């Protein structure tokens, strides 16, 4: 059983908030009718409470099948599944699923229901009172960075792909399930939006500490999001189950090495996070502030631009002092091209964002999309060079 | 460190990237809910019907008619025939909806899916058989009269509703069904709250097709003593009275247009918001 696990997980690092429960798969098998080889062949796997475990592997190797057996959208042919102390293998699947968040590609939002109705589905099924459901909807939209007053009553088609996916995550979290299953959720959005969604998920996970199982075909995504990565081969055979760092440093088989890909020197780009860099603190101004005052403060601090925060303290633009001097008060204009990254973004993401915006830096968002600082391209280059010197020496 | 870090803020001259859709405090504008085709298109059809009725009334008031024609085209007789025609149409449509929608739903369930070809085949035969043959055969079997006509009409017009119900439900994105099941909705809840609401536009389009079909086909009722506006046409043909023949045809056409319009209005009103 557990001796088939290449690396039984250690308990989650101390000090981290955990609201999830462990998942334990015991020799789980799935045979589809009319196929001679099982799609999932006697897989045993332990996922620690509060950890994000990423499933990677070639297409058709059984990742989705294994994931869907956890919430029994697919019934296992054999084996047992435990959530926490409970054996859920024979539990009523509908009731089980209300305790497990499930996120699929493109969100899977019901198009004929408003965003609020979509998010409130599971709480309503669980018989929550109206007021409590309404409160929860707002809380969750807020959590995923969507203003409830703006988005609550909109229909999904009025949202961009990235926003729909955020609502999908909010809906999955609505009844505060201990476990979240995600099947290539960010596969259908453009790279910059995907990176935003990943940052968002990392931030939410830091706040909530759910147990997350996340299927992806993108190894960089696995490295970025995962506390641990499971590399599968055909039949959902576990080839390696370890932290991203360990898998990158020491691939268990040539197969994993191939999968991980070359470019070892650039690994630092995906392994290092923005929060490990020295962020630059800059002068901020709020909408409606006196422009001359803001310019004076910025000059005193040695900045030649200010970051404008909206009423919820989220950065919306970063005008130069020359631009600010021409105004009387700080405007509420939203700079659509403002390059932003999260504290959990990788250096890779940060560089992508800067290149896409043709800027030499990016605004770093912290909790609830508030300002954490500014990261510049020079800081990133220094970090890479330092890391290369360390690995070389 | 703060002062020595070079300014990262270099403003580009041109937009290098599509606007960032996930940026703070931004978002798409809500759109007004205009039905496709627009309400204006819906206003033309009733105007035509009203115009047609006016022209007919005017013609009836001014034309010189033989005694038979005048009797057949008397206000009371016409009103009765029209009501009878409508009654045949509406009763048959109600029965068709009551049978074909649940049957269509049932045939999309995994357990019953294998019966689909058989049922669709039977419904196809019902529609492909010449209508007049169907009427006569059923009359020989069940006797002449109103209810036999209704049975014949039901058999003849079930297919569009059945087919559209199935197509409508099969057209629902399977990922939505999976999302529903995945969040713990029962199969029944997914059907009632996701699949059926999303299939409503297609089902209603099928119902409208059936209704228009019924208005036309109900003219055949006269051959098996079912009454309706077909009596005018039939009498017109047998007695070579063109005014009766044309009147009957025109009234049936106007009725069909009116029914079609009503159907379109219902479709607009019942279309789920957000689609
Ligand atoms: N419903 C199904 N019926 C039959 N075979 C299936 C079904 N779903 C998946 N499979 C097969 O099982 C294998 C694993 O599929 P899947 O779990 O979707 O792989 P992955 O998510 O890793 O791409 C594939 O060979 C696929 O063809
Ligand atoms: Mg898959």
Question: What does the pLDDT look like over A127-185, one tens digit per residue?
Answer: 999 999 999 999 999 999 899 999 999 999 999 999 999 999 999 999 999 999 999 99
Q: Is A196 on the interface with B (CB under 8 A)?
A: yes
CA-CA distance, A102 to A171, in Å (whole number)? Answer: 9
Separation of alpha carbons A256 and A239, rounded Å: 8
- Output the pLDDT for position A262: 58
Q: What gap in Å lies between CA A77 and CA A71, rounded to an integer?
A: 14
Q: Are A199 and A365 in contact (CB under 8 A)?
A: yes
What is the pairing mode between strands A211-215 and A179-183?
parallel
Nearest to A235 by CA among A57, A33, A9: A57
Does the C-beta of A68 come closer than 6 Å to ligand 1? no
Average confidence (pLDDT) over A52-63:
94
Give the span between the Cα atoms of A300 and A281, in whole angstroms: 13
pLDDT score, position B14:
36
Is residue A263 very low, low, confident or very high in pLDDT (cuts 50, 70, 90)?
A: low
Mutate one of A94, A185, A373 to test the B interface: name it (highest B CB count within 10 A): A94
Question: Which of A41, A43, A65, A69 to probe ligand 1 with, by most ligand atoms within 8 A of CB?
Answer: A65
Contact B274 A312 (CB under 8 A): no
Model confidence at A15: pLDDT above 70? no
Cα B33 to ligand 2 centroid, rounded to whole Å: 36
Scan for tokens 């008060």, then name that residue. Answer: A329
**Measured from the CB, is residue A62 less than 6 Å from ligand 1?**
yes
Which pLDDT value is given to residue A270?
A: 80
Instruction: Share the mean pLDDT of chain A.
Output: 89
Instruction: Give me the phi and psi of A390, to 5 degrees please.
Output: -65, -45
Q: Whose CA is nearest to atom 16 of ligand 1?
A: A62
Could you tell me if A46 and A8 are in contact, meaning their C-beta atoms sit under 8 angstroms apart?
yes
pLDDT for A13: 54
The Cα A301–Cα B7 span in angstroms is 13
Residues of B in contact with A187 (CB under 8 A): none
pLDDT tens digit string along B162-209? 999 999 999 999 999 999 999 999 999 999 999 999 999 999 999 999
Report angle CA B179, B185, B187 to the nearest 5 degrees. Answer: 95
Confidence of residue A190 (pLDDT cuts 50, 70, 90): confident
In percent, how much of chain B has pLDDT > 90? 53
The owner of tokens 């085949």 is B121
The pLDDT confidence band at residue A336, using thresholds 50, 70 and 90, is confident
3-state SS assignment for residue A300: helix
Write the pLDDT tens digit of every residue in A174-186: 999 999 999 999 9
Q: How far apart are the first and last CA of chain B?
A: 54
Q: Does residue A194's CB lie within 6 angstroms of at least one atom of ligand 1?
A: no
Unique residue bearing structure tokens 């006697």 = A42
Tell me: pLDDT of A1 over 70.
Answer: no
Residue A254: pLDDT band (50, 70, 90) is: confident
Which chain A residue lies closest to B16 (C-alpha atoms)?
Answer: A357
| Dist. CA A157–CA B143, nearest whole Å | 55
Task: Please tell me if the CB atom of residue A32 comes closer than 6 angstroms to any atom of ligand 1.
Answer: yes
- Residue B13 clears pLDDT 50, i.e. is over it: no
Position A271 scores a pLDDT of 82
The H helix count followed by the E strand count for chain A is 16, 16
Phi first, then psi: give them for residue A128, nearest 5 degrees. Answer: -65, 155
Instruction: Indicate the pLDDT class of residue B32, thresholds 50, 70 and 90.
Output: very low
Contact assignment for A360 to B11 by CB distance below 8 Å: no
Q: Which of A102, A163, A318 sits opposite B21 (nearest CB)?
A: A163
Q: How far is A229 from chain B (nearest CA, A)?
A: 24
How far is Cα A140 from Cα A176, in angstroms, rounded to an integer? 10
Cα A320 to Cα A305: distance, rounded to the nearest angstrom: 4
In angstroms, the Cα distances linking A10 to A44, A47, A243, B245 are 16, 10, 10, 90
Alpha-carbon distance of B6 to B8, in angstroms, equals 6
Structure tokens belonging to residue A223: 């490295």
User: What is the spatial distance between Cα A365 and Cα A274, in angstroms, rounded to a whole number?
Assistant: 10
How far apart (Å, rounded) are the C-alpha atoms in residues A44 and A127?
35
DSSP code of A303? Answer: -
- How far apart CA B274 and CA A33 sit, in angstroms, is 39
Q: Residue A26 C-alpha to ligand 1 middle, in angstroms?
A: 20
Which of A193, A199, A191 is closest to A225 using CA atoms?
Answer: A199
The answer to whether B224 touches B139, Cβ cutoff 8 Å, is yes
For residue B27, the chain A residue with the least C-alpha distance is A159
CA atoms of A144 and A109, how far apart (whole Å) = 15
Residue B230's DSSP bridge partners are: none
Predicted local confidence at residue B21, as pLDDT: 40
Tell the residue nearest (CA) to atom 25 of ligand 1. Answer: A60
Tell me the average pLDDT across B72-99: 92
Ligand nearest to the CA of A55: 1
Residue of B173 and B75 predicted with greater confidence? B173
Cα(A88)–Cα(A25) distance, rounded to whole angstroms? 11
Exposure string over A94-111, b if 16+ CB within 10 A, otherwise e: bebbbbbbbbbbbbbbbb
CA of residue A360 to ligand 2 center, whole Å: 38
Q: What average pLDDT score do residues A265-282 get?
A: 83
pLDDT tens digits for A77-95?
999 999 999 999 999 999 9
CB of B26 within 8 Å of any CB in chain A?
yes
Tell me which of A30, A39, A73 to substitute to probe ligand 1's pocket, judged by most ligand atoms within 8 Å of the beta carbon.
Answer: A39
CB-nearest to B8 from A145, A338, A361 is: A361
* Sign of the dihedral through C-alpha B98, B104, B108, B113: positive
Cα separation, A109 vs A235, whole angstroms: 31
Distance of CA B177 to the CA centre of its chain: 26
**What pLDDT does A6 receive?**
47
Nearest chain B residue to A359 by CA distance is B10
Mean pLDDT of A110-133: 96
How are strands ordered across the β-sheet holding A179-183? A100-104, A179-183, A211-215, A52-56, A228-233, A237-242
Q: Which residues of A touch B3 (CB under 8 A)?
A: 302
If DSSP codes are grouped into helix, strand and coil, which group holds residue A63?
helix
Cβ–ligand 1 distance for A61 under 6 Å, the answer yes
A121 touches chain B (CB under 8 A): yes
**Which chain residues have CB less than 5 Å from ligand 2, an ion?**
A 64
| 3-state class (DSSP) for residue A55 | strand
Name the residue of A62, A73, A185, A235 to mutate for ligand 1: max ligand atoms within 8 A of Cβ: A62
Largest CA distance in chain B: 109
Q: So what's the pLDDT on residue B8?
A: 55
pLDDT in tens, B197-242: 999 999 999 999 999 999 999 999 998 988 899 999 999 999 888 8
Question: By CA distance, what is B19's nearest residue in A?
Answer: A336
Whether residue A224 contacts residue A275, with contact meaning beta carbons closer than 8 Å, is answered with no
Mean pLDDT of chain B: 84
Whether A328 lines ligand 1, by a CB cut-off of 6 Å, is no
Ligand 2 centroid–CA B198 distance in Å is: 26
Token output for A279 = 């962020």
Contact status, residue B85 vs residue B229, Cβ threshold 8 Å: yes
Which residue, among A368, A7, A56, A349, has the nearest Cα to A206 in the 3D structure? A368
Give the CB-side neighbour count of residue A242, counting CA atoms within 13 A: 14
pLDDT given for residue B130 in this prediction: 87
Three-state secondary structure along chain B? CCCCCCCCCCCCCCCCCCCCCCCCCCCCCCCCCCCCCHHHHHHHHHHHHHHHHHHHHHHHHHCCCCHHHHHHCCHHHHHHHHHHHHHHHHHHHHHHHHHHHHHHHHHHCCCCHHHHHHHHHHHHHHHHCCHHHHHHHHHHHHCCCHHHHHHHHHHHHHHHHHHHHHHHHHCCCHHHHHHHHHCCCCHHHHHHHHHHHHHHHHHHHHHHHHHHHHHHHHHHHHHHCCCCCHHHHHHHHHCCCHHHHHHHHHHHHHHHHHHHHHHHHHHHHHCCCCC
Question: Which atom of ligand 1 is closest in space to residue A65's alpha carbon?
Answer: 17
Mean pLDDT of A221-226: 92
């Amino acid at each position: 059983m557990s001796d088939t696990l290449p690396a039984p997980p250690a308990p989650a690092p101390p000090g981290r908030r955990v609201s999830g429960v462990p998942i334990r798969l015991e020799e789980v098998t799935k045979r589809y009718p009319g196929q001679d080889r099982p799609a999932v062949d006697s897989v045993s796997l332990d996922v620690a409470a509060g950890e994000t475990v990423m499933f990677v592997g070639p297409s058709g190797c059984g990742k989705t099948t294994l994931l869907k057996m956890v919430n029994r959208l697919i019934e296992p042919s054999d084996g047992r599944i435990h959530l926490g102390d409970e054996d859920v293998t024979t539990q009523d699947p509908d009731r089980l699923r209300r305790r497990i968040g499930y996120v699929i590609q493109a969100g899977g939002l019901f198009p004929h229901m408003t965003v609020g109705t979509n998010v409130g589905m599971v709480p309503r099924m669980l018989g929550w009172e109206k007021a409590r459901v309404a409160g929860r909807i707002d809380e969750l939209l807020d959590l995923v960075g969507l203003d409830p007053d703006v988005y609550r009553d909109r229909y999904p088609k009025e949202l961009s792909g990235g926003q729909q996916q955020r609502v999908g995550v909010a809906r999955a979290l609505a009844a505060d399930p201990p476990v979240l299953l995600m099947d290539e959720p960010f596969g259908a959005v453009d790279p910059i939006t995907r990176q935003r969604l990943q940052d968002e998920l990392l931030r939410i996970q830091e706040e909530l500490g759910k147990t997350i199982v996340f299927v992806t075909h993108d190894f960089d995504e696995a490295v970025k999001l995962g506390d641990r990565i499971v590399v599968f081969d055909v039949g959902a055979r576990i080839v390696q189950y370890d932290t991203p760092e360990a898998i990158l440093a020491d691939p268990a088989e040539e197969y994993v090495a191939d999968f991980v890909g070359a470019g070892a020197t650039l690994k630092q780009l995906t392994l290092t996070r923005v929060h490990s860099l020295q962020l630059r603190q800059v002068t901020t101004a709020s909408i409606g502030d006196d422009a001359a005052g803001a310019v004076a403060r910025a000059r005193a601090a040695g900045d030649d631009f200010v970051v404008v925060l909206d009423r919820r303290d989220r950065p919306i633009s970063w005008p130069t002092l020359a631009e600010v001097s021409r105004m009387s008060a700080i405007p509420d204009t939203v700079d659509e091209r403002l390059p932003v990254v999260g504290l959990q973004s990788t250096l890779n993401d940060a560089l992508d964002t800067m290149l896409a915006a043709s800027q030499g830096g990016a605004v770093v968002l912290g909790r609830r999309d508030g300002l954490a600082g500014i990261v510049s391209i020079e800081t990133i280059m220094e970090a890479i060079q330092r890391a290369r010197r360390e690995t070389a020496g | 460190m703060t002062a020595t870090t070079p300014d990262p803020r270099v403003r580009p001259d041109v937009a290098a990237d599509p606007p960032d859709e996930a940026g703070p405090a931004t978002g798409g504008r809500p759109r007004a809910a205009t039905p496709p085709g627009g309400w204006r298109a819906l206003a033309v059809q009733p105007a035509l019907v009203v115009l047609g009725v006016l022209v007919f009334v005017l013609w009836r008031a001014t034309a010189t008619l033989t005694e038979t024609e005048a009797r057949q085209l008397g206000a009371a007789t016409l009103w009765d025939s029209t009501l009878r025609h409508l009654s045949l149409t509406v009763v048959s449509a109600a029965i068709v909806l009551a049978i074909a929608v649940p049957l269509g739903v049932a045939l999309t369930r995994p357990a019953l899916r294998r019966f689909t070809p058989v049922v669709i085949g039977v419904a196809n035969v019902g529609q492909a058989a010449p209508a007049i043959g169907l009427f006569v055969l059923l009359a020989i079997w069940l006797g002449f009269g109103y209810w036999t006509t209704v049975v014949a009409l039901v058999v003849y017009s079930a297919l569009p509703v059945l087919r559209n119900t199935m197509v409508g439900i099969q057209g629902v994105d399977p990922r939505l069904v999976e999302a529903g099941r995945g969040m713990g909705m029962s199969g029944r809840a997914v059907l009632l709250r996701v699949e059926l609401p999303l299939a409503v536009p297609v089902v209603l389009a099928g119902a409208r097709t059936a209704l228009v079909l019924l208005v036309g086909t109900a003219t055949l009722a006269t051959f098996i003593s079912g009454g309706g506006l077909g009596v005018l046409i039939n009498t017109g043909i047998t007695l070579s009275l063109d005014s009766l023949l044309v009147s009957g045809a025109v009234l049936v056409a106007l009725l069909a247009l009116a029914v079609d319009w009503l159907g379109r209005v219902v479709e607009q009103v019942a279309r789920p918001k957000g689609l």
